[in-house]
Amino acid sequence: MPWIYPRTNYDQRVEFYQDIESLITPGFLTHTVNVNHNQLVLRSLYPSDIFLIRHRINQRSTEPEWKSWWIASCVWMVNGINLLEEKHTVPTLQKTILALPITILDQLYNIVLGLINRNHKALEGIEAYSYEPYSRLQWKQMGRNLPSRSFHVGIPGVEKMGLNSLQKIWVAFNLMEDERDNDRVTWESAKLIASSNAPKGVEKINSHDQKMVEETQTKRSDLLDFWFYQNLGLLTQKDWDSFEKRERIQHAKTVEELEDEMRRWVAGEDD
């Protein structure tokens, strides 16, 4: 590890994953507030929400108008009633919110900004979270399926909203990991077949493969530790960038290079 702090474990890091896990399932962050004796629950926005907001406001929109559209787009529950499946909720809420005193409007908009900031912070940590064994377990528990499906989330209406940005990254990572796992099984089978003809060559390949695995695990452990100490305020992104420049991990060889290496070993050209 490039820093002086001790190694960390999942139990230490888990407290910083709460928002990340909420953005994976159910798919949004929440904040509850009381307005005129009504309980509103606001949520973080999906890309589809932002697309609609951009088309609902224009250059002639006043500050209270465009703020009210942002706020209305975030409200998903009022007095315990789920509004996600209601088609005309946002335009109706926008008119009601626009009529509120400007001080309340600004307070609600600050909550929206807070949810946006929490969303951005979670996005910064999704790479670290994806490296956690628990993350892979969660992916498998979902049947390697999209996390916005209703049978995973259990909240009517969420499945219609698509994937948020963090979900897209998490799904893409796990699909690539699945491919890596499948390729690893195929590669191990190929080495087993070749070992009867070129045991020395396969031994060299195994040594090379093990080194690559260890380097990858070390790099991921470093990132997990960095994420923890960054959240404690002891490290900054500049520290990680400097480390990456100093300790650049070599990329794995291409499939063609590995096949050529295998061919030479099988033919006895490297003996």
Looking at the structure, tell me whether residues 177 and 256 fall in a common domain. yes
Among 130, 146, 173, the domain-final residue is 130
Domain annotation covers residue 258: yes
CA distances from 47 to 118, 128, 130 (A): 15, 23, 21
Domain annotation covers residue 146: no
Q: What confidence tier does 204 reach under pLDDT thresholds 50, 70, 90?
A: confident
Mean pLDDT computed over 186-191: 84
Q: Which of the pair, 212 or 110, is modelled with greater confidence?
A: 110
Looking at the structure, tell me whether residues 125 and 184 fall in a common domain. no
Question: According to the model, what pLDDT value does residue 249 have?
Answer: 42
Separation between Cα atoms, residue 173 and residue 162, nearest integer Å? 18
> Dihedral sign, CA of 32, 33, 39, 44?
negative
Full-model pTM: 0.84
Quick check: 119 and 50 in contact, CB under 8 A? no
**Coil/strand/helix, residue 234:** coil
Q: How many structural domains compose the chain?
A: 2
Q: Which residue has the tokens 């990572």?
A: 173
Looking at the structure, tell me whether residues 179 and 99 fall in a common domain. no
Mean pLDDT computed over 66-75: 97
Looking at the structure, tell me whether residues 124 and 202 fall in a common domain. no
Task: Encode burial over 159-186: b for 16+ CB neighbours within 10 A, e otherwise.
Answer: bebebbbbbebbbebbeeeeeeeeeeee
Domain annotation covers residue 157: no
Question: According to the model, what pLDDT value does residue 148 have?
Answer: 65
Looking at the structure, tell me whether residues 170 and 240 fall in a common domain. yes
Question: According to the model, what pLDDT value does residue 252 have?
Answer: 43
Looking at the structure, tell me whether residues 172 and 126 fall in a common domain. no
Looking at the structure, tell me whether residues 25 and 123 fall in a common domain. yes
Say which range, 45-49, 101-105, 146-150, 191-195, has the weakest mean pLDDT.
146-150
Question: According to the model, what pLDDT value does residue 33 have?
Answer: 98
Among 108, 130, 152, the domain-final residue is 130
Three-class DSSP labels, 1-12:
CCCCCCCCCHHH
Looking at the structure, tell me whether residues 94 and 173 fall in a common domain. no
Q: Percent of the chain, pLDDT > 70?
A: 88
Mean pLDDT computed over 191-219: 84
* Strands 81-82, 75-78: pairing kind: antiparallel
Among 103, 130, 157, the domain-final residue is 130
Phi, psi of 43 (to 5 degrees): -130, 165
Quick check: 150 and 156 in contact, CB under 8 A? yes
Looking at the DSSP bridge assignments, the partners of residue 34 are: 39
Three-class DSSP labels, 176-213:
HHHHHHHHHHHHHHHHHHHCCCCHHHHHHHHHHHHHHH
Domain annotation covers residue 139: no
If you average pLDDT over every residue of the chain, what do you get? 88
Quick check: 34 and 19 in contact, CB under 8 A? no
Looking at the structure, tell me whether residues 31 and 105 fall in a common domain. yes
Domain annotation covers residue 227: yes
Query: Could you tell me how far CA 73 lies from the centroid of its own chain?
Result: 23
Question: According to the model, what pLDDT value does residue 92 have?
Answer: 95
Provide the residue range defining the domain that includes 175: 165-266
Q: Which of the pair, 186 or 94, is modelled with greater confidence?
A: 94
Question: According to the model, what pLDDT value does residue 250 have?
Answer: 42
Q: What CATH number is given to the structural domain containing 116?
A: 3.30.2220
Domain annotation covers residue 115: yes
Looking at the structure, tell me whether residues 125 and 21 fall in a common domain. yes
Quick check: 133 and 34 in contact, CB under 8 A? no
Quick check: 42 and 33 in contact, CB under 8 A? yes
Looking at the structure, tell me whether residues 176 and 257 fall in a common domain. yes
pLDDT tens sequence across 7-17: 999 999 999 99
Domain annotation covers residue 3: no
Question: According to the model, what pLDDT value does residue 257 have?
Answer: 62
Looking at the structure, tell me whether residues 84 and 173 fall in a common domain. no
Task: Encode burial over 47-64: b for 16+ CB neighbours within 10 A, e otherwise.
Answer: eebeeebeebbeeeeeeb
Question: According to the model, what pLDDT value does residue 191 have?
Answer: 80
Question: According to the model, what pLDDT value does residue 265 have?
Answer: 57
pLDDT tens sequence across 131-187: 999 999 999 888 887 776 645 677 888 888 889 999 999 999 999 999 999 998 888
Question: According to the model, what pLDDT value does residue 147 have?
Answer: 75
Domain annotation covers residue 148: no
